[in-house]
């Protein structure tokens, strides 16, 4: 399939200020860490007291029944929840040694470092090329000696998203002219074009057919060489297939979501410690 030398620029410093911060991230060994995190929508507590430390350059899956707060937790990792009126987080989310909810932190900066792929493919109504280039340009993509040109960078990201061969002859066509699966890979290419450290994916394949789903899963595994991936899925086979770590969420008596068990994917699926996890993966409820 893909070879990782397709991305010769992965380590090069093409955005301002990336280098030092990557070092800071490496220090803890964890890409991102939730500490006693609770999230409210106005008065309703959607998620309570989540503690989880997500390993670097691995795929972490979040599973659980509908409404248990999987998306809520995921969105809190790059402060996308800030966009929901009335939503607020308590507790800490530590990223690069910093609580991203600290008052001095700019959520725009957080989202630039932690990319997101949504459930429904949402390419911009612009050309395929522009879809990839826009975010990079916006974030101060610099051309220069030893650095890629924008054209090379767009090609690199589309190759990385396993989309290049399908779109290389129609880069000027609208991103919306692609099929659903291609659109989703375009969204992934768009996300990696700004070189985030973490990519959050909220049920990225739930709107796709089985073949396109498989492609996205392969892509995720390929991307995990360079990126930390956190993926929400309601598809347990998918979690078992692609992820290294799995977190199981459920709701408690007052409908607040909570983390039940978090560990090695093989252990969660073969030897769960909690009876609720066992019940869920064996299909007893949820």
Partner 1 sequence: MNGPGLSFPVEFDPTLPRRHSSGNIFARFFLVSTWAGIAALALLMLTILNDSIGYVIITTEVDPASLAVNGVPYEEQTNQQLTDILANHLSARRLRVLEKETPFADLNQAELVLLVEQEVLDPEAAATFSMVQSLFDRSMVNAELAEHPGATMQMRFWLQPGLLSNSGSSNALLAGIRTALYGSLWIIAITILVAFPIGVGAAIFLEEYTVDNAFYRLLRANITNLAGVPSIIYGMLGLAIFVRGMQPITSGALFNAVSGDPAAATGRTILSAGFTLALLILPLIIINAQEAIRAVNPLLRQASLGLGATQWETIWHHVLPQAMPGILTGTILAISRAIGETAPLVVVGAATYITFDPTGPFSKFTTLPIAIYQWVSRPQPEFRSLAAASILVLMALLLSLNAFAIALRNRLQKKQ
Q: Which of 70, 112, 185, 190 binds ligand ADP (CB under 6 A)?
A: 70
CA angle at 267 for the pair 253 and 221, rounded to the nearest 5°: 105
The values of phi and psi at residue 73, to 5°, are -65, -45
Burial class (CB in 10 A: 0-12, 13-18, 19+), 71: buried
Rank residues 48 and 112 by Cβ distance to partner 1 and give the closer one.
112
139 contributes a contact to partner 1 by CB under 8 A: yes
Stretch that binds partner 1, among 58-66, 134-142, 204-212, 224-232 (CB under 8 A): 134-142
**What is d(CA 257, CA 255) in angstroms, rounded to the nearest whole number?**
6
Stretch that binds partner 1, among 42-50, 64-72, 108-116, 164-172 (CB under 8 A): 108-116
**Closer CB to Mg ion, residue 71 or residue 78?**
71
Residue 260 binds ligand ADP (CB under 6 A): no
Tell which one of 38, 60, 71, 184 touches Mg ion (CB under 5 A).
71
Among 24, 84, 102, 138, binds ligand ADP (CB under 6 A): 84
The token duo for 144 is: 């220069």
Q: In whole angstroms, what separates CA 202 from the centre of its chain?
A: 7
Among 34, 50, 63, 68, binds ligand ADP (CB under 6 A): 68
CB contact set of 141 (below 8 Å; sequence gap of 6+) = 14, 15, 133, 150, 153
CB-based contact 125:174 (threshold 8 Å): yes
Q: How far is CA 142 from CA 17, 35, 109, 206, in A?
A: 12, 36, 18, 36
CB under 5 to 8 A by kind: which of partner 1, ligand ADP, Mg ion, none does 206 bind?
A: none
Strand boundaries in the chain, DSSP class E:
30-41, 44-55, 59-63, 87-95, 98-99, 114-117, 198-202, 228-232, 245-251, 257-264
Choose among partner 1, Mg ion, ligand ADP, none what residue 67 binds, the Cβ cut-off being 5 to 8 Å by kind. Answer: ligand ADP
Rg (C-alpha) for the chain, rounded Å, is 19
- CA dist 39 and 53 (Å) reads 17
Q: Is 160 in the site for partner 1 (CB under 8 A)?
A: no
Q: Which of 115, 204, 257, 272 binds partner 1 (CB under 8 A)?
A: 115
Quick one: which segment of 61-69, 90-98, 155-163, 267-275 binds ligand ADP (CB under 6 A)?
61-69
Does residue 13 belong to the site contacting partner 1 (CB under 8 A)? no
191 binds, among ligand ADP, Mg ion, partner 1, none (CB under 5 to 8 A by kind): partner 1
Q: Which residues bind ligand ADP (CB under 6 A)?
A: 41, 46, 64, 66-72, 84, 257
Q: Which residues bind partner 1 (CB under 8 A)?
A: 78, 80, 83, 85, 108-109, 111-113, 115-116, 118, 120, 122-126, 134-135, 138-139, 174, 187, 190-191, 194
């Amino acid at each position: 399939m893909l070879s990782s030398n397709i991305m010769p620029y992965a380590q090069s410093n093409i955005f301002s200020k990336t280098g030092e911060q990557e070092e800071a991230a490496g220090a803890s060994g964890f890409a991102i860490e939730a500490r006693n995190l609770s999230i409210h929508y106005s008065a309703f507590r959607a998620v309570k007291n989540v503690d989880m430390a997500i390993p670097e350059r691995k795929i972490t899956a979040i599973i659980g029944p509908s409404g248990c707060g999987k998306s809520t937790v995921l969105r809190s990792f790059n402060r996308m929840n800030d966009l929901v009126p009335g939503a607020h987080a308590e507790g800490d989310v530590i990223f690069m040694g910093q609580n991203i909810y600290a008052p001095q932190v700019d959520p725009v900066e957080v989202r630039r470092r932690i990319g997101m792929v949504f459930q429904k493919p949402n390419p911009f109504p612009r050309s395929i090329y522009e879809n990839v280039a826009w975010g990079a340009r916006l974030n101060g993509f610099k051309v220069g000696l030893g650095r890629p040109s924008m054209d090379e960078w767009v090609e690199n990201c589309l190759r990385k998203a396993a989309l290049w061969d399908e779109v290389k002859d129609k880069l000027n066509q609208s991103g919306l002219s692609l099929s659903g699966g291609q659109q989703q890979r375009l969204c992934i290419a768009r996300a990696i074009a700004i070189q985030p450290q973490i990519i959050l994916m909220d049920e990225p394949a739930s709107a796709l057919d089985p073949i396109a789903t498989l492609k996205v899963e392969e892509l995720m595994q390929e991307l995990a060489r360079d990126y930390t991936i956190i993926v929400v899925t309601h598809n347990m086979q998918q979690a078992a297939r692609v992820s290294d770590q799995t977190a199981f969420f459920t709701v408690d008596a007052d409908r607040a979501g909570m983390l039940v068990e978090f560990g090695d994917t093989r252990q969660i699926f073969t030897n769960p410690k909690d009876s609720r996890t066992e019940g869920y993966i064996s299909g007893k409820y949820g």
